[in-house]
Structure 1
Amino acid sequence: MTKDLKQTGLKSWLKPVKKLAATAAALCISVQSFALGDPEIEDLKFGFIKLTDMAPLAIALEKGYFEDEGLFVELEAQANWKVLLDRVITGELDGAHMLAGQPLAATIGYGTEAHIITPFSMDLNGNGITVSNDIWEQMKPHIAKRDDGKPVHPIKADALKPVVEEYKKQGKPFNMGMVFPVSTHNYELRYWLAAGGIHPGFYAPHKGDTSGQLQADALLSVTPPPQMPSTMEAGTIYGYCVGEPWNQQAVFKGIGVPVITDYEIWKNNPEKVFGITQEFAEKYPNTTVRLTKALIRAAKWLDANDNANRPEAVEILSKPYYVGADAEVIANSMTGTFEYEKGDKREIPDFNVFFRYNATYPYYSDAIWYLTQMRRWGQISEHKSDEWYFETAKKVYRPDIYQSAAEALIEDGEAQASEFPTFASETGFKGEQPDFIDGIVYDGSKPNAYLESLTIGLKADDSL
């Protein structure tokens, strides 16, 4: 019997006779308490958005890593992040490439409410902020130059502030795009703007205001990633924050200039996650561990031998049913370089990280950073205790499932223990992280102290 992969155009797989799952496994609610057995469900459909950081899913399928785990996976591109999340919640999708903020927001009831978890962090870095050619020309007088005449990087939002102020003086709104209200892109764009003294606006959901534009100097709104370049070209927005290849697409089309990467905003910041419902993990514990195993193998392949496999990955991702952009555009960032202005291509070997630096491990401190940003900009309306942040992170981020998958890979001979955190002593907290563009140190074990250290944004006793 073959499996029809519908719109993806992917080849069909010959399926073996299905095995019956153990009744106890089907009823178990703790993945970690079980020795890894056969998958309880074999036919799975996963969703993704057309971005290069969906790569672990594509590689796990193309390299047969899902099949090695007895899983027969269909990958299906989704129209936008809301549709993707809704379809995971309804069960139309078994899991998906998600914005890291989505499982957290859903679990705390911001937007669509559902208990979504993640056992796997998909990547580090991978985003950029692009402005239109016209805005870039207005920023240039405020940017330092190297001896060769090229801009000094990183470029702070200080250079954009005079431009925004001039727009305000003329009574014109300064519009920018990001991909979703709880996206990394929204929080990174806000962080960059605020670090330069530009207020990106507050949310006030308790008052029915989810625009995120209260008291804003720059007005941020949602634009789907593939539409970013054309929306900016039309003049609807003057800049945007998005993942690849849509910053490099602006360079290739000659319509804009990426001014900064998220690597320069927060070195080795967490990006997407793989999300499933809590119900799925409880009902199919072996399947959950096995799909996590396949994704870890794919991430490892993507970073192996100093990114030696990236050219092959670029060709795979350029297929129309994955990212569907020109291979040359995808390669501009996936192979360790990044082009700002045309001809100004610079080495950024860690622009996309999929495995090294424990990129795939779901750290609680990563979850807490997203939650602090939700509070900072008003998506969480009321002050929360440090304990609330810790408890929420532990509901959503599941290093126990990850550990089961990693230990199984070590036992299989597919990985070495040295490639993972030391599980016996790992706390889930990275400790102090100083590599932010404004020099402020983030410590996930002290969320409220961190919020107090940020100049623009809500503090403990603030309300709107």
Structure 2
Amino acid sequence: MSWYKKLVKPAIAALAIGSAGLGHAQELEKDELKFGFIKLTDMAPLAIAYEKLFFEEEGLFVTLEAQANWKVLLDRVITGELDGAHMLAGQPLGATIGFGTQAHIITAFSMDLNGNGITVSNDIWEQMKPSIPKRDDGKPVHPIKADYLKPVVEKYKAEGKPFNMGMVFPVSTHNYELRYWLASGGIHPGYYAPKRGDIGGQIDADALLSVTPPPQMPATLEAGTIYGYCVGEPWNQQAVFKGIGVPVITDYEIWKDNPEKVFGVSKEWADKYPNTHIAVVKALIRAAKWLDDNNNANRPEAVKILSQSNYVGADYEVIANSMTGTFEYEKGDKRPVPDFNVFFRYNATFPYYSDAIWYLTQMRRWGQIAEHKPDSWYMDIAKKVYRPDIYAEAAKQLIAEGKMSASDFPDFDSETGFKPPQTEFIDGITYDGSKPNDYLEQFEIGLKKGDVLE
């Protein structure tokens, strides 16, 4: 055993237990942990929990390790090579219902809101631009709807050319946001048909969506393999800095304050290490609050940390473009978007059932869930995967220890896990998480109650 483990580790662990407050010292079942992440700015709560010693103060000794792609990351959580990971919000749900990989994954912590954008190549942008309304200063009126992309896609179809676009994973927020935006403009993004073994998601598609790992998006766009993509930061801003593409819309404009990533662990791991799991959530909550404290005053320091090669590894200026409350669309058209990245405000860290159900509705809309399911099924899966009970225990300990205040959190005595009906979608459709089937029936493009792709 190294001198660190002999001397420093016991001292920090003792401090963690000593600061836990009366009745809240919990013996950790496992204190050496390895967490995975993908090189995106929204992995920030993990980096901050590590760098600001929040993990250590909870008695945890964590290694953070970048993963090659989302599939590798999920597989390594399932096998136990990773104790947990920064995950796409759809990954625990997709795995638990058996779309792709079958495994029971849970989340007790939502990592952020917003954070994504849709970028098109310079050539596609020039074709879209003439029909987009302009402000008095000549700059485009935002949000830019997919209506302005539709004539371009139709032209490519008429010429017999496939209109290829990239997203990061079949159950990623990016896939569903890109599909949502396209469909709201009358562009069909295609169906999945798992019953017939078709998991490509391109049946009946006007635009053909396929998987590209986030850091490879700009290069793939530059090569002409895809004409646009949906991805998290900093890979939209990277296209601007490289002069190869134009972000046309952020996910904040598609669905205001949408949930993005989660911290996921296997159900088996959570059952085996309950106190450890709570300690992890406590550290992540503290990191998320630090990121949003004092009107984002800590963001420049966070950007400096994230720009390190072991985290995101993009230039400081590229990451800062969105992390510090602005977003650059066309080169030189930088606009204030103070909530582009939200880590703690608006109860961003709370795992709402209604967030889980929205992802499940999109899986059904596009055929990843092959058959109609009753509303009760959506609720059952949400409760199986999203664990606000674990989150509430972590929050209550932080309050008892004086590290946070009750006002930082929802009222756990009255919280139902459902947000009020949400209206701020680009297509004007209201989402009520308690009525998933009624929600699905409102879309012009998408599977309805009786539809099954055999």
- TM-score of the alignment, normalized to the shorter chain, above 0.5: yes
Partner of 2:201: 212
Q: How does 1:66-81 map to 2 (within 5 A)?
A: 66-81=55-70
Matches within 5 A, 1:153-192: 153-192=142-181
The whole-number CA distance in structure 2 between the counterparts of 1:3 and 1:403 is 36
Asked whether 1:292 is paired with 2:286, we answer no
| Consecutive unaligned residues in structure 1, runs of 5 or more | 5-11, 21-33
Determine whether 1:240 maps to 2:229. Answer: yes
Which letter maps to 1:67? Answer: E
CA contact (8 A) 2:13 2:57 kept: no
Are 1:226 and 2:215 counterparts?
A: yes
Instruction: Give a deviation string over 1:231-263, Cα, whole Å, max 9, x none.
Output: 000000000000000000000000000000000
Match among 7, 10, 22 for residue 16 of structure 1 = 10
2:340 — aligned with what? 351
What letter corresponds to residue 9 of structure 2 in structure 1? K
* C-alpha distance in structure 2 between counterparts of 1:418 and 1:35, whole Å: 20
Number of the residue aligned with 2:17 = none
> Is the 8 Å Cα contact of residues 13 and 72 (structure 1) preserved in structure 2?
no
Is the partner of 1:453 in helix, strand or coil? Answer: coil
Contact 2:77/2:266 (CA < 8 Å) preserved in 1? yes
Deviation, 1:2, is 4.5
Q: Tell me, which stretches of 5 or more residues in structure 2 are unaligned?
A: 15-22
Aligned partner of residue 92 in structure 1, secondary structure: coil
Structure 1 residues 94 and 210: alpha-carbon distance in aligned structure 2, compared to 1, 3 A threshold: same
User: 2:196, 2:3 → 1: CA distance?
Assistant: 49
Contact kept? 1:2, 1:14, Cα under 8 Å: no
Partner of 2:34, secondary structure, is: strand
The answer to whether the 8 Å contact 2:12/2:56 transfers is: no
Structure 2 Cα separation of the partners of residues 391 and 2 of structure 1:
47
Question: Residue 53 and residue 3 in structure 1: after superposition, are their counterparts in 2 closer, same or farther (change >3 A)?
Answer: farther
Please show how residues 24-43 of structure 1 align to structure 2 within 5 Å. 37-43=26-32
Cα deviation code 1:126-171 (max 9, x no counterpart): 0000000000000001100000000000000000000000000000
Name the CA distance, whole Å, in 1 between partners of 2:12 and 2:433. Answer: 44
After superposition, where does 1:73-92 map in structure 2 within 5 Å? 73-92=62-81
Partner of 2:307: 318
Amino acid at match of 1:111: G
Q: CA deviation at 1:38?
A: 1.6
Total equivalences in the alignment: 445
TM-superposed deviation, 1:337:
0.1
Match of 2:52 among 63, 76, 96: 63
CA distance in 2, matches of 1:323, 1:42: 25
Q: Which deviations, in whole Å up to 9, do the C-alpha atoms of 1:261-290 show, x marking residues without a partner?
A: 000000000000000011111111100000
Give the counterpart letter for 2:8 in structure 1: L
Q: Counterparts of 1:164 and 1:68 in 2: how far apart (Å)?
A: 53
The equivalent of 1:334 in structure 2 is: 323
- SS of the equivalent of 1:39 reads coil
* Amino acid of the structure 2 residue aligned with 1:280: W
Matches of residues 330-409 of structure 1 in structure 2 within 5 Å?
330-409=319-398
Task: Find the aligned partners of 1:146 and 1:351 in 2 and give their Cα distance.
Answer: 22
Q: Output the amino acid matched with 1:327.
A: Y
Q: Distance in 1 between matches of 2:126 and 2:411?
A: 49
C-alpha distance after superposition, 1:372-419 (max 9, x if no partner): 000000000000000000000000000000000000110111111011
Match of 1:346, SS?
Answer: strand
Q: Which amino acid aligns with 1:92?
A: E
Distance 1:317 1:18, change over 3 A: closer
Identical positions, percent: 79
Q: How far apart are the structure 2 equivalents of 1:35 and 1:324?
A: 38
Amino acid at match of 2:412: F
Measured on the aligned residues, the alpha-carbon RMSD in Å equals: 1.7
* TM-score normalised to structure 2 length: 0.96
In 1, Cα distance between equivalents of 2:311 and 2:61: 17
* Correspondence 1:252 to 2:241: yes
Distance in 2, matches of 1:16 and 1:425, equals: 39
8 Å Cα contact 1:310-1:335 kept in structure 2: yes
Q: Residue 14 of structure 1: CA displacement? A: 3.5
Query: What is the letter of the counterpart of residue 286 of structure 1?
Result: N
Partner of 1:27: none
Q: What TM-score comes out, normalization by structure 1 length?
A: 0.94
Cα distance in 1 between the residues matched to 2:308 and 2:340: 21
Which string of whole-angstrom CA distances, capped at 9 and with x for unpartnered residues, describes residues 394-445 of structure 1? 0000000000000011011111101100000000000200000000000000
Deviations 1:62-114 (A, max 9, x none): 00000001100000000000000000000000000000000001101111111
CA distance in 1, matches of 2:123, 2:58: 51
For 1:373, the aligned partner's letter is Q
- For 1:100, the equivalent position in structure 2 comes to 89
SS of residue in 2 equivalent to 1:274: strand
